[in-house]
Amino acid sequence: MKKTVVFLSDHTGLTAEAMGMSLLSQFRDIDYDVIHKPFVDSREKVQQVVREINHIAAQTGEQPIIFSTLVDPEIRQPLKDCQCLVLDYFESYTHILEKELKAAADYRHGQVHSMANANAYRNRIHAVNFALTNDDGAITRSYPDADLILLGVSRSGKTPTCLYMGLQYGVLAANYPLTEDDLQTPQMPKALREYKDKLYGLTIDPMQLQRIRQERRSNGRYANLEQCRWEVDAAEKLYKRHQIPFINSTAMSIEEMAVKILADLGVKH
Amino acid sequence: MKKTVVFLSDHTGLTAEAMGMSLLSQFRDIDYDVIHKPFVDSREKVQQVVREINHIAAQTGEQPIIFSTLVDPEIRQPLKDCQCLVLDYFESYTHILEKELKAAADYRHGQVHSMANANAYRNRIHAVNFALTNDDGAITRSYPDADLILLGVSRSGKTPTCLYMGLQYGVLAANYPLTEDDLQTPQMPKALREYKDKLYGLTIDPMQLQRIRQERRSNGRYANLEQCRWEVDAAEKLYKRHQIPFINSTAMSIEEMAVKILADLGVKH
C-alpha cells in the first residue's frame, strides 16, 4: 500500500513536516508519496489543494493523509470537503490552550519560522557567521565571545555541529581542530587554556574516521588507519586528562550531538 | 502571568519544541519560562520530571504546560500523576493513524532526528560540506552536481540559506557572488551559462545591505550606500534580463527563502 501524505501549511510547513515525519516513522512498513504544500494562506488556495487531493483519492482509491498546521479556522474550512484524513494540529490543541491560558489565540500564521522575532533571527544569522569565521581554529581571538568551543581531530564532525547550533539555536559555537602538535604534548593547547568551561570534545570510531578522510583525500598519512587510531586515542586521553566532557560522533546525528552538548554545558538557548 | 512550559521528549525534543513554539506563538501576551527535557527515555526519568514539575506547580500556584513527544505509552504512564496540562502528540494521533493505516505503530523513539535513516543523514552531511566547499564561487567545477546555484551580491544572504538547505534537506546548494565585473556587462557570467535551470537570485534592500556591510567592514566603497544601490540594481537587471527567478531577502527568514526557492525550482527533497 502506498499512501499519499500531504504537509499542508500557511507558512513554511516545517512544523507540519516535523510532526508528520515523527508520526509516520512509527510505521515502518508503509510507503509514502510526500507532497509539500507550503504558503497556502487563503481559502482559495486551500480549496485548490482540496481539489488536488480529492483527485488523487479518486485515482488511487486510497484516501490521502494531511498533516496540517493551518492556523486560521476560517482558511481551514474547505478541508471539511476533503476525501482524506486530516490531522490538524491547531484544531486539536488551540482551544485547550485558550482555556488553560484564559486568553484568545491570535491566529496569525508564520510566527515561528519567520522573522517575527527579529532579535532571535539576527542572533541566529550572527551565530552562523560566527561558526564560519571561527571554523577550524583559524581565528582564536573571538573565543571570549563563544558560548562553547568544540574540539576534535580533523573530520570528526565539528563543523556541521557548530553550524547547526548556530542556525537552530543562535548559539555561538567555535571549533578547534586538535593538530598533531596538540596531541603530542600532555598540556592543554595554549589557545584553549583560558576557556576550560566552554570546551567540549568529539571523538569518533577510527575506522569511520579513516573512511571519511579517504573520501576527502585518499593518499598519505592523513587517511591511514594507524594514524587515525593514534589521533583518536591521543584526543581521548587529552579530554580525560583535562576533564573535558566528550561524546562519540560515530552513531549520533548532528541534532543529537547539539542537544546533548548544550545540555551538558548548560548553555541557555 | 508567567507559565512554565516544558518540552518533554525521549529524544532530541526538536519536534516537541517546534510544536510548542508554534502553538504558543499564537498567544502574544503570555510570558513563559521554558524548560527543555530531552532524552527522557525511561519510566524512572519521566517520574523524576513529574516530581520536578509538581514542585514547580506547588511553588508557583500555576500548573505548567508540557508539550510531549514521548513515543512509548509505557514510559508516558507517570505523566498521569502530573499537576500540569499535558499536550501529548503521540497519544493524540497514533491511534488515529493506526486505524487509518491498518497497522500497529512501532513505538520506537528517535526515528526522525537520529541516524535511523543513514542514507538521508549522509546526504545531509555531504550537502553541508558541498555548501561550504562551493561557497562564494570559489570553486565552480562542481556546478554539474549542484541541485541549485544561488546568486547575489556580497552579503545578500546566500551562505546561510545554502547551509540551511544542506542541513535541513540534503540539497546540494552552491552559491555564486555577483562581482562588479559580472554586474558591468549584460552577459550572463561565464561560469553560470551552462546551468540556467539551476539559477536563483537573491536581492536585498540597499539600505539593509549597507547596514550589514558596515558591521563587517565599515570603510571604503564596499559599504557605501551608492555602491550598494548600484550593485542591487544591476543584479536585479541581470536576473530580469536572463529570466532568473529571484526573491528579496530583506524581510524573509532563511527557512522561508529555502522553502520558496526549492518550490520555485521544483527541487525534490
Average pLDDT for A186-195 = 94
- When pLDDT is averaged across residues B47-68 and rounded to a whole number, the result is 95
Q: What is the pTM (predicted TM-score) of this model?
A: 0.89
Task: Assess whether pLDDT exceeds 90 at residue B48.
Answer: yes
Mean pLDDT computed over B24-43: 91
What DSSP element (H or E) covers A75?
helix A73-76
Rounded Cα distance, A109 and A116, in Å: 10
Instruction: Give percent of chain A with pLDDT exceeding 90.
Output: 74
The confidence score (pLDDT) of residue B218 equals: 67
Query: Are residues B253 and A121, on separate chains, in Cβ contact within 8 Å?
Result: yes
- Interatomic CA distance for residues B240 and B246, integer angstroms: 9
- The predicted-structure confidence for B136-166, as pLDDT tens digits, reads as follows 777 888 899 999 999 999 999 999 999 999 9
With 80 as the cut, is the pLDDT of residue A172 above it? Answer: yes
User: What are chain B's domains?
Assistant: 2-101 (3.40.50), 118-265 (3.40.50)
Are residues B128 and A160, on separate chains, in Cβ contact within 8 Å?
Answer: yes
In this structure, what DSSP letter does residue A202 have?
E
- Which residue in A19, A103, A128 is closest to B29 by CB distance? A103
All cell numbers assigned to B19? 510544536
pLDDT band per the 50, 70, 90 thresholds, residue A218: low
Q: Tell me, rounded to whole angstroms, the distance of Cα B181 from its chain centroid.
A: 33
Q: What percent of chain A has pLDDT over 70?
A: 99
Q: Does the pLDDT of residue A1 top 70, yes or no?
A: no
Lowest mean pLDDT among A56-70, A125-139, B10-24, B186-200: A125-139
Written as one letter, the residue type at B63 is: Q
Give the whole-angstrom CA distance, residue A19 versus residue A37.
Answer: 15
Asked if residue B192 has pLDDT above 80, the reply is yes
Instruction: Report the candidate in B121, B147, B152 with the shortest Cα–Cα distance to residue B136.
Output: B152
Q: Which long-range contacts (CB under 8 A, 24 or more apart) does B155-159 make?
A: B155/B204, B155/B209, B155/B212, B155/B213, B155/B216, B156/B202, B156/B203, B156/B204, B156/B209, B156/B235, B156/B249, B157/B202, B157/B204, B157/B249, B157/B254, B157/B257, B158/B202, B159/A128, B159/A132, B159/B131, B159/B135
User: What would you report as the CA-atom Rg of chain B, rounded to the nearest whole angstrom?
Assistant: 24
Most confident range, picked from A12-16, A245-249, B107-111: A245-249
Average pLDDT, chain B: 92
Confidence at residue B1, expressed as pLDDT on a 0 to 100 scale: 66
Number of H helices, E strands in chain A: 10, 8
Nearest chain A residue to B15, by CA: A18
Q: What percent of chain B has pLDDT over 90?
A: 74
A134 phi/psi in degrees, rounded to 5:
-105, 30
pLDDT reading at A44 higher than 90: yes
Segment 200-259 of chain A within 8 Å of chain B by CB: 251-256, 258-259
CA distance A96 to A91: 10
Q: Of A219-233, B42-56, B231-245, which range is least confident?
A: A219-233
Flag the least confident range among A7-21, A212-226, B105-119, B156-170: B105-119
pLDDT at B79: 94
Please give the average per-residue pLDDT across B38-60, as a whole number: 95
Flag whether residue A138 sits within 8 Å of chain B, measured between CB atoms: no
CB contact under 8 A, B107 and A259: no
**Ordered alpha helix ranges (H), B42-108:** 43-60, 73-76, 89-101
Amino acid at B265: L
Average the pLDDT over B85-92 and give the result.
92
Find the radius of gyration of the CA atoms of chain A: 24
**Nearest chain B residue to A40, by CA:** B260
3-class SS at A104?
coil
Nearest residue in chain A measured CA to CA from B11: A256
Is the pLDDT score of B202 beyond 80?
Answer: yes
With contacts defined as CB-CB under 8 Å, which chain B residues touch A100? 63, 65, 85
B128 has a pLDDT exceeding 70: yes
How many other β-carbons are positioned within 10 Å of the β-carbon of residue A212? 17
Q: Which of A246, A251, A234 is nearest to A148 (CA)?
A: A246
Spatial contact of B165 and B122, defined as CB atoms under 8 Å apart:
no
Q: Is the pLDDT of residue B215 over 80?
A: yes
The answer for residues whose C-beta is within 8 angstroms of residue B17's C-beta and 6 or more apart is B7, B36, B67
CA distance A90 to A97: 10
Phi, psi angle pair for B248, to nearest 5°: -95, 120
pLDDT tens digits, one per residue of B237-259: 999 999 999 999 998 999 999 99
Least confident of B31-40, B210-219, B256-265: B210-219
A39 and chain B: CB distance < 8 Å anywhere?
yes
Q: What is the mean pLDDT of chain A?
A: 92
> Which of A111, A114, A253 lies nearest to residue B115, judging by beta carbons?
A253
Nearest to A103 among B19, B27, B129 (CB): B27
State residue B121's pLDDT score. 85
What pLDDT, on the 0 to 100 scale, is given for residue A140? 85
Nearest to A9 by CA among A97, A85, A111: A111
